[in-house]
């Protein structure tokens, strides 16, 4: 509740009138700043603004001799995601690292924001996870066609045995579209279940035991963001790889 109050008041102070109309449209009501932010679009806007501010601060404070803590954290994140991408994609992974990093950081932030009292994780709503899955689907297929051409990329769907292409092609097409559902449902279901279990135990036992489930929810948040990032990286690897 308090966090929502602070964010709303600061934004209103900076952007005044135009922001009021935007926040009203997405579910945040400046007239009542104590009201919690529950609309997923509003939460995504807040998270996006905070992440943008963080990276602006990192960029403005870059230093080789005396790196600030925010720079050190950003470098650790860069190395972590880059290491995963290099192992899975291999040569040329750098061009995809920005997208993979944004996906990981954004999902992790959306997952963790639900731990703040009065806020809900946007990722425990199917519409949000579906949007992330669709963005991933469009991105890796775009680079698949770009890297290999239309004919070369479609050969991936035909399988290695030419006389079974008539059977494998429709199966592979359905399998690829099913990735949208699997990415979306996996993230949504885990986050929704984690939030629900935590809420139930906080309702039954106000103190003590629920802390354990809060820690479990934290673990689920991190793991699910990592799994989503790995799947995105794997899909990109398969899409841009050339058969030899």
Specify the pLDDT at position 205.
65
The dihedrals phi and psi of 34, each to the nearest 5 degrees, come to: -80, -10
Task: Decide if 154 is inside a domain.
Answer: yes
DSSP 8-state class, residue 66 = S
Specify the pLDDT at position 210.
61
Domain count for the chain: 1
Kindly give, in sequence order, each residue whose CB lies less than 8 Å from that of residue 1, ignoring residues fewer than 6 positions away.
34, 36, 117, 118
Specify the pLDDT at position 243.
59
Query: Distance (Å, rounded) from C-alpha 12 to C-alpha 36?
Result: 15
Specify the pLDDT at position 244.
45
Specify the pLDDT at position 83.
93
Residues 111, 121 contacting (CB under 8 angstroms): yes
pLDDT digits (tens, 9 = 90+) for 38-88: 577 888 888 999 999 998 998 888 888 888 888 899 999 999 999 999 999
Query: Longest Cα pair distance anywhere in the chain, in angstroms?
Result: 67
Residue reference for tokens 């944004």 = 102
pLDDT in 10s for each residue of the chain, 244 residues: 433 443 344 334 433 344 444 445 444 444 444 444 457 788 888 899 999 999 899 888 888 888 888 889 999 999 999 999 999 998 889 999 999 999 999 999 999 988 887 778 899 888 899 999 999 999 999 999 998 888 888 888 877 777 777 788 888 889 989 999 999 999 998 888 877 777 776 666 666 556 776 778 888 899 999 999 999 999 999 998 865 4
Specify the pLDDT at position 29.
45
Write out the residue range of the structural domain in which residue 176 sits. Answer: 67-240
Q: Where are the alpha helices (DSSP H) in the chain?
A: 2-26, 40-60, 69-88, 94-112, 126-158, 165-204, 209-240
Task: Decide if 41 is inside a domain.
Answer: no
Task: Decide if 33 is inside a domain.
Answer: no
Task: Decide if 235 is inside a domain.
Answer: yes
Query: Distance (Å, rounded) from C-alpha 46 to C-alpha 49?
Result: 5
Residues 173, 154 contacting (CB under 8 angstroms): no
Task: Decide if 193 is inside a domain.
Answer: yes
Specify the pLDDT at position 67.
84
Q: What's the predicted TM-score (pTM) here? A: 0.78
Quote the tokens at residue 1. Answer: 């509740």
Task: Decide if 198 is inside a domain.
Answer: yes
Query: Distance (Å, rounded) from C-alpha 42 to C-alpha 49?
Result: 11
Task: Decide if 204 is inside a domain.
Answer: yes
Task: Decide if 11 is inside a domain.
Answer: no
């Amino acid at each position: 509740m308090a966090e929502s109050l602070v964010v709303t008041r600061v934004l209103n102070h900076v952007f005044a009138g135009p922001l009021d109309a935007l926040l009203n449209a997405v579910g945040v009501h400046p007239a009542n700043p104590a009201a919690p932010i529950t609309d997923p679009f509003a939460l995504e806007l807040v998270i996006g603004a905070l992440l943008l501010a963080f990276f602006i601060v990192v960029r403005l404070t870059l230093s080789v001799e005396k790196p600030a803590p925010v720079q050190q954290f950003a470098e650790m994140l860069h190395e972590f995601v880059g290491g995963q991408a290099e192992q899975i994609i291999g040569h040329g992974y750098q061009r995809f690292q920005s997208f993979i990093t944004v996906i990981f950081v954004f999902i992790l932030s959306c997952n963790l924001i639900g731990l703040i009292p009065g806020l809900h994780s946007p990722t425990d709503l199917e519409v949000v996870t579906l949007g992330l899955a669709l963005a991933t689907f469009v991105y890796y297929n775009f680079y698949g066609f770009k890297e290999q051409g239309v004919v070369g990329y479609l050969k991936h769907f035909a399988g290695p045995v030419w006389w079974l292409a008539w059977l494998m092609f429709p199966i592979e097409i359905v399998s690829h579209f099913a990735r949208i559902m699997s990415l979306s449902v996996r993230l949504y279901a885990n986050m929704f279940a984690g939030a629900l279990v935590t809420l139930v135990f906080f309702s039954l036992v106000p103190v003590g035991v629920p802390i354990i489930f809060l820690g479990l929810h934290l673990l689920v948040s991190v793991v699910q963001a990592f799994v989503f990032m790995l799947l995105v990286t794997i899909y990109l690897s398969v899409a841009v790889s050339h058969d030899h």
